[in-house]
Amino acid sequence: MSDRFDAIIIGAGIIGAAVGLELSRKGWKTLNIDKLPAAGYGSTSASCAIIRTHYSTLDGTAFAYEGYFYWKDWADYLGVEDERGLAAFHDRGCLVMKTAANGYLEKLLEHQRAVGIPFEEWDAETIAAKLPHMDLNSYAPPKRPEDAGFGEPTGGPLRGGVFFPCAGYISDPQLATHNIQRAAEAAGGAFRFNAEVVEIRKDAEGRVAGVTLQDGSAIDAPVVVNVAGPHSAKINAMAGATADMNIGTKALKQEVVHVPMPVEGWETSGIVTSDSDIACYTRPETGNYLLIGSEDPECDPREFVDPDEYDENFSEQWRIQALRTAQRIPSLGIPSQMRGVVSLYDASDDWIPIYDKSCVPGFYMACGSSGNQFKNAPPAGKMMAELIDAVEGGRDHDSDPLQWSMDYTGRTIDVGFYSRRRTINPESSFSVLG
């Protein structure tokens, strides 16, 4: 393997692989480096991999709708075969409950209308007819089992919800990443695993010159892209790129629950649900399980950790999420043996990712993306490649932000929306919902 490349991408998760693919397609000689043994082996493999379009901001909504079409046209996007087969997109739709916490979806639906995304408003009677296993009483605000009144209805029945047909999930996020790796390799990209970056070298003028690995080997490149997931903050610090960042990132411990499927036939026909009344989301999981994730309510403490040293065991949070979901699905069985995933999010201060250049010439970042950006990996890869190409061509993205035209929707997005120098975006949900 040559020790000189046009660009080194630190990370081979779903977004890192997509950045490598799109730069390779532009003719760049790329190398994705990952400390783990395979593409998508880290936080990507633990992703719930839900594809949805409901976001708290207009830009986030438009970006997610663009991403949906890549998953719909997955084979066309890749353009190559994978000996492991292609990841399956279960295109089944998503039901979001109307609650006081989300403003009964009024603002969110404004964004959907502005972008032209289809949706159906379901009243409580419609939900009860379609999903008879659900108890539609309100239990808000979300509580912990030890709190007074847990499990007791508080505000009458829910007002209904909104069904988004352009939604679903990927059953194997690691396979999806391997698919992109194969596409990148077909375009000339290279991948190196079990390799940890310990230094980002610079030339005399302060520009990126390459990286040094833990084994002492040096790889040269004038461009380095930080897509290191939960390690992104450490890589930004290693590069000396934090001086002008208004938005930072941290590694956040998350637990995802797998419980036996309580609804007959739901594994093959079930939809995604998002329910801020109980602060949980669900989707079918392979093996006839129901996957349950937290929507990060105030009653649940957030545990920010060192990504190289944290407790990888389940905690009481597993049981809490299961019990909250049992309020909505009374038939839910909660086994004594905990099953699911313990992993890390790479969370930004406002839960909106950073897709940007940095104050270090040649150093770029695609970070703070965990929890709500798996679905956006293909367009994020394209957008980052366009940004890198433009900045390396002389564009001052900080003063003149790139305007990127999206392929499927034809909308133009101001890439400055994802700037490292932005102020905290007050429209964000400040949660995994983005």
Is residue 142 a contact partner of residue 279, using CB atoms and an 8 Å limit?
A: yes
**Buried/exposed code over 159-171 (b: 16+ C-beta within 10 A; e: otherwise):** bbbbbbebbbbbb
Average pLDDT, the chain: 96
Query: For position 370, what pLDDT does the model report?
Result: 78
3-state secondary structure of 303: coil
Instruction: Dig out the tokens for 108 from the structure.
Output: 């969110």
Query: For position 230, what pLDDT does the model report?
Result: 96
* Nearest residue to 370 via CA among 223, 241, 256, 224: 256
3-state secondary structure of 67: helix
Task: Give mean pLDDT, residues 327-336.
Answer: 96
**pLDDT of 263 strictly over 50:** yes
Beta bridge partners of 168: 51
Amino acid identity of residue 117, one-letter, is I
Instruction: List pLDDT tens digits, range 140-156.
Output: 999 999 999 999 999 88
What percent of the chain shows pLDDT beyond 70?
100
Name the band, by pLDDT with cuts 50, 70 and 90, for residue 432: confident
Is residue 341 a contact partner of residue 255, using CB atoms and an 8 Å limit?
A: yes
**pLDDT of 60 strictly over 80:** yes
**pLDDT of 274 strictly over 50:** yes
Residue 219 φ/ψ, nearest 5 degrees: -125, 125
Task: Give mean pLDDT, residues 126-151.
Answer: 96
**pLDDT of 2 strictly over 80:** no
Task: Give mean pLDDT, residues 259-277.
Answer: 96
Query: For position 431, what pLDDT does the model report?
Result: 83
Amino acid identity of residue 158, one-letter, is L
Instruction: List pLDDT tens digits, range 340-380.
Output: 999 999 999 999 999 999 999 999 999 999 778 999 999 99
**pLDDT of 403 strictly over 90:** yes
Beta bridge partners of 412: 405
Task: Give mean pLDDT, residues 100-105.
Answer: 95
Instruction: Dig out the tokens for 185 from the structure.
Output: 């390799």
Task: Give mean pLDDT, residues 157-171.
Answer: 97
**pLDDT of 1 strictly over 50:** no
Amino acid identity of residue 186, one-letter, is A
Q: Round to the nearest angstrom and report the end-to-end CA distance of the chain.
A: 39
List of domains in the chain: 7-85+172-248+350-418 (3.50.50.60), 91-168+252-348 (3.30.9.10)
